[in-house]
Every structure is written in C-alpha cells, then in structure tokens.
Structure 1
Amino acid sequence: MANSTSRVSFASISPAIALGPLDGRYRGAVAPLVDHLSEAALNRERIHVEVEWVIALTDGQVVPGAPTLSDAEKAYLRKIVTDFGGEGIAEHADIERTTVHDVKAVEYYIKRRLDAAPSVLGEDTVLPAVSELVHFCCTSEDINNLSYALMVKGAVEHVWLPAATALVEQIKGMAREHKAVPMLSRTHGQPATPSTLGKELAVLAHRLDRQLRRIAASEYLGKLNGATGTYGAHVAAVPGANWPTVSKSFVEGLGLTWNPLTTQIESHDWQAEVYADIARFNRILHNLATDVWTYISLGFFKQIPVPGATGSSTMPHKVNPIRFENAEANLEVSNALLDVLASTLVESRMQRDLTDSSGQRNIGTAFGHSLLAIDNVRKGLDRLAVDEVVLLADLDANWEVLGEPIQSAMRAAGVAGVPGMENPYERLKDLTRGHRIGSADMIEFVRGLGLPADVTERLAALTPATYVGLAEQLVDDYLV
C-alpha cells in the first residue's frame, strides 16, 4: 500500500474542494441558503445593520450636531450593502487579518467607503463627518443578534418555507389523487382495518401543514442596548435621548420584534422556538419517508426508473428507494444540529459568554440538511406510481379484518334487542384470530348470525376493499 503522506493534497489543488457534502456533492440543492446563512451573508447583514443604524441616528437627530443625510447620501450608504460581493468579501477578510475581529473589520470596511464618498458624491458630502456614528454605542452583539435574526428570517421565509410548502402541496395532491384507492392498514405491522392510500397521505400532509403554520408565524427578536443591556454608553454619550424608544424603532424598522430586556446578548429564545418547530417538521417528514419506504417494499408503490440510472452495482434489476433513505439520514443530521442549537443557545453565563457565537455558525448546516431532505423526498415522490393490483391482492388476502365491523354490527343489534348476539367479540375472535379465511367463510358466518335482513345483506356485501369507512370523505372535508 502506498504511503498516504506521498499522496497529492487535495487542499493544495483548490481551497474550493469541500470538506462537507453540502458545499460539495449537494451544493446545487442547498445553494439558495448561501445568500442567507453563509459567513458572507453574515457580514453583509452586519454591514446592513451598521448602515441602517447610521441612517437612523441621523434621520432622528439622535446625536446632537450630527448632519442630516440627503437621499443621495443614504443611497450611497445602502449601496455599500448591495455591492458587497466577491471583492468586498476578500477586502473584509484582509481587514480582519489585522483586526482579528470580524465585526470591527465590518466597521472599518464601511469607514473606508465613507472616506471615499467625496470622490463619488462631491466634496460637499457630509458622509466623512458621520464616520464615528458607525458602530456608535454598539457592542458586537448589538450588530450580530440583529444580523442573525435577519439571516434566519430570510432563510426561513425565502428558501426553507417555500420549499417545505411546495413539498406539502405535492403530498396533498397525491392524497387527493389517491383518496379512493383502498389499502390494507398495518398497526403494529399486522393487517388492520383498511383505509385508503390518499387518506394516509392526507394525515401526514395535515401534520406537516400544521407545523408550517407555526413556523410561518415565528417571531424574530432583536435588541440594541449596549454591552450589558443597560444603554450605559448611550446615556453617557447622549443623556437627553430616549434610548429605549430609539432602539425599539430601529429594531422594528428592520422588520424584527424588539426585545426590551437582555444581557449583552439577545437571549436567543426565539431561535430555540423556530429550530424546535423545524425539527418537529423534520421528524414528521422522517415518518413520511419511512412509511413510503415501507409501502415501496410492500409493492404498494412502484418506482419509475430514471433513464440511464443504476440501482445496484451488481444487481441489474434493482430500483432502490434511495431518495427516501437519503432524506432520512439528512433529517437526522439536521435535527441533531437543530436540537443542539435549541438547547444551548438559550443559556449564557452571567451577562455573556461566546458559546453562542460558535454555535450559530452551524445554523446554515442545520437548514441545509433539512432542505436537502425536502428536495430528496420531492424527487422520490415524483418517481412513484401506485400499483393497485398489489393493493387489492393484499386486501383480498386478509378477509379476517372484517371481524371488526361484523362484531360491531352484532353489538349494535344486541343493544337493539335482536336475540342471539351474545359475545360478539369472542365469536369473531374464534373465527378470525390466527386463521386465514376467505370471502365464502365470512359470508357463511354472517348469514348464520340471525341479524336483520338489511344488516345481513350489508355485511355480506362488504369486502376488505370496500371497508374504508369515511376515508375518502375525510380527505375532501379536512385536507385544506
């Protein structure tokens, strides 16, 4: 075996060779999250918050003597945000190599552009004079908490939620399409009261939809109140300002919910709430993936082969349910991260420790694995076809499931005074438990019970395929 130290170093070939699958193999499926939850997105939001803070301070004349900015000057400031791209990322990184502090590097990045404003707007611009309003009275966490809130809000509302909603609508469509297709249920893995394929899919769609409504209603909290949440520097610098009112107006102006009481950090409780809801959605989706996988193994679904694709490297006949298996694994990874974030972000020693800073850098990975799972489930569902022949054969092989409606009808008849209806459950248990019976056995038993004629005929006409209760109606009435 060759010595591993003699091998080519992939890192020396290109720094773009990914260590993790989300930035490598699966980049295409999760790329939309990069604009919201990457390190570059974090720095862009930091610039956004810093710029809007300068505009808020000058618009409100919060700091005495601060100039009023023209529309052109505000546009110039906001263009710093929209222009932040490859060159800006590299420049910020270069500044950070000196500061060894990412937020301070953002401050200097903006100040460079304020110094350059006269060459763009003319020598009479006042932007150089507002340079010291960048990061005015702010601790790094004032900027970071607002940036993360904006990032997560954007990722949820513009990427994750649309993808999850599209998946749920796809499941709803399948539920409606197959609402009348009878299917033998399995409780504890054993044959049980039939349902319809559509109704069972509707149950999962309804559960997922409920979580989406919770997630869509999420609050994203933010604060701007200084090093320990007391507005100490603010009051010392400008004692005449109503700083809580200024802070509330600024945070709400960013589209966030203001948190009035914090330590140095915003408490992150809202993050724990959002991540718990997404994790719950993931767990229900995991349930769907394992159920569909099982239905495929039972033959209820046929998988439509992808032209040119290989199912097994050695068994040519196989079409493996890899989309659902991939989804399971990614949902588990996503939930491991979401659970850690939800449980650890709500704790911070005294007024501040730095554990949240390291933890929050994994938000994108948690979302990425969930988004990848959603993509896999959608693609997997697209390649399914219902095999009604298999479904009907499964039902026809399990006539014993009609023991439930027959004994229930006997109970009702006994209550109504029909004689001979004693011990209905036990009589059906003797007939069906541990036995394979067919239609003739069941019809013979029904006709010998002495039930009223209309009940007898109704039960004699019943088959496992028609014993589905209100399944179809439930889909129509309650799948919104």
Structure 2
Amino acid sequence: SYGCMIRDGLKNVWLPAATEFAKTIDGLAIKDAHLPMLAHTHGQPATPTTVGKEFKVYAYRLKSSIENIESIKIKAKFNGATGNYSAIGVPFPNINWEEANKDFVENYLGLTFNPFTTQIESHDYTCHILDGIRHFNNILMDLDVDMWLYISMEYFKQIPVKGEVGSSTMPHKVNPIRFENSEANADFSNNICVALSNKLPKSRMQRDLSDSSTQRNLGLAFGYSLQAISETTGGLAKCVVNEAKLAEDLNEKWEVLAEPIQTMLRKYGIADAYDQLKALTRGKNISKEAILEFAQGLDVLSEEDRQTLVNMTPASYIGRAADIAEKPLF
C-alpha cells in the first residue's frame, strides 16, 4: 500500500509540480538568454554572464534531479511473514509462488517485485526517493538564496501587490518573503526526509514496528516540498529584471576585461601576461579609458586581435552564454 501511495504521490502530484517548475525556470532562461549581467564569484565581480544563462543552470540541475527520482524503482513484497512463502506454500505446495507473486506485484499493482525481504520491504527505494526530493529541495533553496541576493543588489525589482504589507514598520519596503518562505518549507521537507531516510533502513532482525510510525510522515516530506515550489513560483512571478542596474554595474567594472586581455597576450607567448594585468587591475576599479589605453598599446598583437580587445566591453564579454541559455531543455 505504501508503494502504491508513493508511486501515485510522485506520479500525480509531486513530479508534475516539480517538472512544471523546472519548465518555468527554463522559460526564464530562454527569455533572458541575451541579457548581460555581471557575475560574482566569492561575492566579487567576475567574468560577465547573462541572466538567462544563470537560470539555465538551475533548470538543468532541477531537470536532472527529477530524472534521477523518476528512475527509481518502487518496490513491494508479497512473500509471507518472514519472506519465505511459508504459510501459503503449505496448502498449495505445487504452485511457483515466487513467479505468481512477482506477476501479481508487477502486472496487477504496477510495482517492482522485491524477492528478498524479511517481514517488511526494506524501504531502501523509499530512502532513494527521499534523498532525491531532498536534493531537489537543496537546488530550489540555492535558487531562493540567489534570487534574494539579486533582489538585494537591485538586479531584480519586485512588483508591489496592492494591499500587501511590505514591512511591519517601513512602508517603502517590498520584502522577498516568498523566497524566504520557500527556504523555510524546503528546509522542513529536508529535515523530514533526512529523519525518514536515517530510520527506515533499520529494523531489528526480521522486523520491528518503528518503521510504521515513521512512514506516516512521508506525506509531510512531499507536502513541504510542494509548498516550497509554490512559494518560489510566486516569488518569481513578482520579479522583473532591472536592466538599468545590470547595465550600470557592468559599466563600472571594466577590470573584468583583464581576463580576455591576458588570455590574448598568452596567445602571443607573453610569459608574464597574467602578472601584467594583475598589476593593472587587482583590487582596483579600472576605468574604461585605462583599459582601452592598455589594449591599444599592445603592439605585439595583430591589428585584428587588438581591435577585438579595443571593441570589447563588459556587456559584450559573455562568451557563448546566450547560445547556451536559449536552447530549450524541455
């Protein structure tokens, strides 16, 4: 019965919601595939990316997590009090009960037959599913935190909802509460998943009853995860990209072009290329004029390569980010 409930809970409820959410993220990736954004590694300005490319990373991670869960075989036992077909074999000794019960479990119930059990099915597949949901939740929380940070940096603006209270004391605020609510619900789901996954594989000898009380909390693990998905979806629906802020930040960080310049110099065998650009840019806010002056003075380069650097801007230095982001995953 638990196998059937888990199967139907996944197939009819959790997986459709998770898949629809991943598709939503992929749609955002395609929509903003070409919109440049300053990246941040270790919280510091880094090689630019696009808004869509960063959404695409999450869409792919979520899709992979869903596929892992879908690949798990949901198992069931039907082989007696200690798994040996003992009682049913006494009145009907000439029937191949292993084949008959496998046929019943797989062709009637639509589950995968587990031929080696004690009084209980060992719950290992349940733990794999719970671990999969927990992994999905962690990806979701990673997105929640990134959106929270991007909103604090004004890379996204939140659309005010009429009648909504943004803050208990500060009327001007629009707090990113949907992402915070999602974090809380995903964390609750994770804690239940961990508790269940830790307990269910362990049973004294041929069985004890502790798994029965534990299994009754499976719905909570699913439910809190679903609520987290709903909250993040709602939060994203209130967000719009602040293109002016993205452009402003990119235009203030010309030092990120130190990477392509030193790479171009390496092409010409300049051994201290990295050190030259390190001396010019490390820990500094370098102006557009300073970068252009340095690039224009690189006589070692061909005219074509020098013009490539001179014409480059932080907003244009996005590699293949746009091409990567605009390919649909679904």
TM-score, with length taken from structure 2? 0.97
Q: Secondary structure at the match of 1:465?
A: coil
- Choose 1 or 2 for highest CA Rg: 1
2:175 to 289, 304, 320: 320
* Residues 478 and 413 of structure 1: CA distance in aligned 2, closer, same or farther (over 3 Å): farther
CA distance in 1, matches of 2:308, 2:92: 85
Q: 1:437 aligns with which of 281, 286, 289?
A: 286
* Residue pairs, 1:300-339, within 5 angstroms: 300-339=155-194
Q: What is the SS of the residue equivalent to 1:230?
A: coil
Which residue number in structure 2 is paired with residue 4 of structure 1? Answer: none
> Aligned pair 1:466/2:310, yes or no?
no
Letter in 2 for 1:322: I
Aligned-residue identity in percent: 49
Which amino acid letter does the alignment assign opposite residue 260 of structure 1?
P
CA-to-aligned-CA distance 1:314-346 (integer Å, 9 cap, x gap): 111111101100111111110111112122211
SS in 2 for 1:237: coil
Counterpart residue identity of residue 449, structure 1: L
Matched position secondary structure for 2:47: strand
Tell me how far 1:479 sits from its aligned partner.
3.7
Cα distance in 2 for partners of 1:477, 1:294 equals: 26
Where does structure 2 lack aligned partners over 5 or more consecutive residues? Answer: none
What CA distance in whole angstroms lies between the structure 2 residues aligned with 1:324 and 1:441?
40
1:404-454, Cα deviation, whole Å (9 max, x unpaired):
00000000022xxxxxx3411001001001111111110001111212111
2:326 is paired with a residue of what secondary structure?
Answer: helix
RMSD (Å) for aligned C-alpha atoms:
1.1
Mapped partners of 1:328, 1:151: distance in 2? 26
Higher relative contact order (CA 8 A, sep 6+): 2
Matching residue's letter, 1:294: L
What do residues 277-314 of structure 1 show as CA deviations (whole Å, max 9, x unaligned)?
11111111111111111111110110111111111111
* Structure 2 Cα separation of the partners of residues 269 and 423 of structure 1: 56
Equivalent position of 2:142 in the other structure = 287
Is 1:271 aligned with 2:126? Answer: yes
| Residue in structure 2 matched with residue 359 of structure 1 by the alignment | 214
Q: Specify the alignment match of 2:68 in structure 1.
A: 214
Q: Which amino acid aligns with 2:322?
A: E
Matched-pair contact (CA < 8 Å) for 2:26–2:328: no
For residues 113-262 of structure 1, what are the structure 2 equivalents within 5 Å?
Answer: 147-252=1-106, 253-262=108-117
Q: CA deviation at 1:237?
A: 2.9
Counterpart AA for 2:158: Q
Corresponding residue number in structure 1 for 2:307: 457
Pairing of 1:369-408 with structure 2 (within 5 A): 369-408=224-263
Partner amino acid, structure 2, of 1:165: T
Q: How many residues align structurally?
A: 328
Cα deviation code 1:83-131 (max 9, x no counterpart): xxxxxxxxxxxxxxxxxxxxxxxxxxxxxxxxxxxxxxxxxxxxxxxxx
- Structure 1: tracts of 5 or more residues without a match: 1-146, 415-420
Residue 348 of structure 1 pairs with residue 203 of structure 2: yes
Range with greater deviation from structure 2 (323-332 or 233-242): 233-242
Is the CA contact 2:36–2:51 (under 8 Å) kept in the aligned structure 1?
yes
Answer whether contact 2:30 2:328 (CA < 8 A) is retained.
no
Q: 2:286 & 2:245 partners in 1: Cα distance? A: 19
Counterpart of 2:213, as a letter, is: S
**1:21 corresponds to which residue?**
none
1:218-238 Cα shifts (integer Å, max 9, x gaps):
211001111101111111232
Q: Please report how far the alpha carbon of residue 477 of structure 1 lies from its aligned counterpart in structure 2 after TM superposition.
A: 4.2
The whole-number CA distance in structure 1 between the counterparts of 2:19 and 2:185 is 18
Match of 1:447 in 2: 296
Deviations 1:368-389 (A, max 9, x none): 1100000001111111100100
CA distance in 2: counterparts of 1:333 and 1:201, whole angstroms: 25
